[in-house]
Amino acid sequence: MSSTTASQTELKAARVPLGWRDQCSALLIPLNKCRRTNSYTPWTCENERHGYEKCQYDDLMRRMKKMSKLKQEAAAAAAEE
């Protein structure tokens, strides 16, 4: 587990829906707490929100690079045959 991934126990205690339990789940828990505390006002919790969004973006880029590498490897293997 990475530093941005919460355990299943923490996620269950924070009542995070299954669809949001990803690589950035540890950043979502304090963001949701802040949102509830401040009645979901858009100008509060900016630091938490930006940190969570950056984590989501970095995760997307990592997955895209991995998929690109797998496609290149598959194309190279097909070309050898």
pLDDT in tens, 24-80: 999 999 999 999 999 999 899 999 999 999 999 999 999 999 999 999 999 999 998
Question: What is the residue type of 65?
Answer: K
Please give the Cα distance from 40 to 71 (Å, whole number).
Answer: 42
Whole-prediction pTM? 0.83
Domain count, the chain: 1
The residue segments making up the domain with residue 51 are: 8-80
Alpha-carbon span 22 to 5, nearest angstrom: 7
Within-domain flag for 1: no
DSSP symbols for 2-52: -TT---HHHHHHTT--GGG-STTHHHHHHHHHHHHHTTT-TTSSHHHHHHH
Note whether residue 3 is domain-resident: no
Residue 54 included in any domain:
yes
Domain assignment present for residue 47? The answer is yes
